[in-house]
Amino acid sequence: MNQKIKNAVDHSLSGLCVTQRSRHQILNRMQGEQPVKKKLSFGLALALALIMLTAVAVAAVLLSGRDMVDQVLTPMAEKTKETRFTPEEIAEILDFAQKNDIQLHPDDLKALKSPDGYFKEELAMLFAKSSLGFYPGTWDVADQFWFEELQVKSGVKDSHDLIIPSENEKTQQQIEDIANAYILKQTGQDFATGNREKYRLFRAFHVEKDESNHETRSWRLEYEALDLTSPDFRLTLDPQGAVLTYSDTLKDTQSQDPKNQAELLYSRYIRLYTDRYGSQDAWTQAQWQELHLKLSALLKGVKDLPYCGFILNQSYAPLPENALSREAAINAAAQAVAQTYALPTDSLLSSSDLATWQAPYAIALNGDTANPVWKVSFGREYLVELNALTGEPTLVDRYAPYENPMRRYALDQLLPQNASLPVLITPEGTPAIAPNPTSQESGQ
């Protein structure tokens, strides 16, 4: 309970004292053992009235993220035809949210500082997520319909794709119960798909219209395992609960093929440990090393798998005690980038003003080389490799998002060379440092 409200209740009811005899009398009357012969005393009536008033006040004052969308953002958005809220409007919205104890993610708050304002629909989604969950696909279908209705009314969408069940159709809970029972029947095992701590459930009730305007309504359910070994499940059902399609990854999880097991393991690490932007920057050094050890045990030297092979080609073990600290490596890398590309060092290191995925990231790599390396990336733009013992940069380059995403987490010399997508993407004429400099025009 909000502390302010708790204090108010305590203060309002501080004079109310219920004796042991009174408790027994109240319980007896509730159970029908004694008739109520007397009217409520003035003091008790006043106390009950205060409780009711407090409950009403709580309901009226404390808004959820969804309430904020309905009662604050939508009316404010309808005042103008602009697609963005102004910085002044955003400040007003955030002040209102703070008074209602609604917390947005720190990265979202940083993004809202833009002098250009923020798109109205996107801000509404942020507040909806704060109340209903980060993944809209996991919301109840009624909430999904509610948000899509806002999009339709604002002109963002032409019509509804998501709907809610009618009176003669199965409810969301009934559909999920049918799906859970079907999975149990198909597998013969209880994977606890109804447990949200073990499975993340994405659900949707769709409507599709053909050229003759005939509607097809169907449920789509996807159960995403939240551990490293359980299978995933996908089903579609009609509105009456008949299962139309079913698939699972049970064979994959039970496969004895090391390559299948390795790919499944890697995909699960992606699911469990990447950040909200899908970046592996969220992985700790220990998680990289853990994955490396597990893949090594599975593949026993096989290194021809995409992504998995890159991880196997090097070690993510802790660096020697005399190696540069992570902070020192990031500072040295920032200086190297600043000198190479004539940038202010502060612009690379001001992580307090950057979203998580833009902040400097460093990972220790060993690979097949004798010298350990710090690999540092600044957002998704600049990359540096440093000798972890001396701090000398051995590579300073720019990173192209269309390249292999593993480049931020592996030594460049261990990545496959590709003539059409060279490892080094620095345009000709721009200084770059690399073990084997092969600067080529990248088209950027």
Q: Give yes or no for a contact between 338 and 348, defined as CB atoms under 8 angstroms apart.
A: yes
pLDDT at res. 27: 45
Encode burial over 216-250: b for 16+ CB neighbours within 10 A, e otherwise: eebbbbbbbbeeeebbbbbbbbebebebeeeebbb
Answer yes or no: is pLDDT of 188 > 90: yes
pLDDT bin (cut points 50, 70, 90) of residue 113 is confident
**pLDDT for 333:** 94
Confidence of residue 400 (pLDDT cuts 50, 70, 90): low
If you average pLDDT over residues 29-36, what whole number do you get?
47
405 secondary structure, DSSP code: G
> Which range, 136-140, 160-164, 337-341, is most confident?
136-140
Residue 99: what pLDDT? 92
Q: What is the pLDDT of residue 13?
A: 39
Sign of the alpha-carbon torsion through 323, 295, 401, 117: negative
| pLDDT > 70? residue 403 | no
- For residues 161 and 147, give the distance between their C-alpha atoms in angstroms, rounded to a whole number: 12
The rounded distance, in Å, linking the Cα atoms of 330 and 418 is 28
| pLDDT for the residue numbered 423 | 52
Choose between 409 and 301: higher pLDDT. 409
| Residue environment code for 399-413, b if the CB has 16+ CB neighbours within 10 A, otherwise e | bbeebbebbbbbbbb
Provide the β-strand partners of residue 235: 221, 246
Question: Does the pLDDT at position 22 exceed 70?
Answer: no
* Short-list 443, 436, 380, 444, CA closest to 412: 436
* Centroid of chain to Cα 408: 21
- Looking at 8-157, which runs of residues are DSSP E strands? 84-85, 118-119
Q: For residue 148, is pLDDT > 80?
A: yes
What band does 28 get if pLDDT is binned at 50, 70 and 90? low
Between the alpha carbon of residue 158 and those of residues 144, 151, 235, the distances in Å are 16, 8, 27
Residue 438 confidence (pLDDT): 39
What per-residue confidence (pLDDT) applies to 3? 47
Alpha carbon separation from 270 to 58, 99, 142, 307, 308 (Å, rounded): 41, 37, 30, 11, 12
At 308, is the secondary structure helix, strand, or coil? helix
Asked whether the whole model's pTM tops 0.75, one would answer: no
Per-residue pLDDT tens for 370-391? 789 999 998 878 899 999 999 9
Asked whether the beta carbons of 323 and 389 are under 8 A apart, the reply is yes
- Between 42 and 442, the more confident residue is 42
Q: Which of 22-36, 103-117, 196-210, 246-260 has the lowest mean pLDDT?
A: 22-36
| CA–CA dist 45, 29 (Å, integer) | 16
Apex 352 CA angle, 346 and 355, nearest 5:
105
Q: Using CA of residue 59, residue 64, residue 67, residue 72, what is the dihedral sign? A: positive
Alpha carbon separation from 49 to 2, 16, 25, 56, 73 (Å, rounded): 20, 12, 20, 11, 33
Q: How many CB atoms lie within 10 A of CB 176?
A: 20
Question: Residue 162 gets which letter from DSSP?
Answer: B
Q: What are the start-end ranges of the E strands in 49-157?
A: 84-85, 118-119
Per-residue pLDDT of 233-252, as tens digits, reads 999 999 999 999 999 999 98
Query: Could you say which DSSP state residue 408 is in?
Result: G
- pLDDT category at 122 given cuts 50, 70, 90 is very high
If you average pLDDT over every residue of the chain, what do you get?
A: 81
Is 336's pLDDT higher than 70? yes
Percentage of the chain exceeding pLDDT 90: 45
% of the chain at pLDDT higher than 70: 75
> Per-residue pLDDT averaged across 395-416, rounded?
77
> End-to-end distance of the chain based on CA atoms, in angstroms?
54
**Can you give the pLDDT at residue 100?**
92
Q: Which of 61-70, 339-348, 434-443 is least confident? A: 434-443
Closest C-alpha among 328, 330, 348, 327 to residue 338: 348
Position 136 confidence tier, pLDDT thresholds 50, 70, 90:
very high
pLDDT, residue 143, reads 97
CA 46 – CA 50 distance, rounded (Å): 6
Determine the average pLDDT of the residues in 45-71.
70
The answer to whether 405 and 365 are in contact (CB under 8 A) is no
Q: Which strand (E) or helix (H) includes residue 80?
A: none
For residue 30, the model assigns a pLDDT of 44
Q: Is the dihedral of CA 170, 175, 181, 187 positive or negative?
A: positive
> Quick one: tokens of 156?
């963002």
Residue scoring higher pLDDT (176 or 103) = 176
DSSP string, 410-429: S-GGGSPP-SSS-S--PPTT
Quick count: other Cβ atoms within 10 Å of Cβ 55?
12
305-337: string of b/e by CB count within 10 Å (b at 16+)? bebbbbbbbbbbeebeeebbebeebbbbbbbbb
Q: Which of 177-186, 281-290, 417-426 has the lowest average pLDDT?
A: 417-426
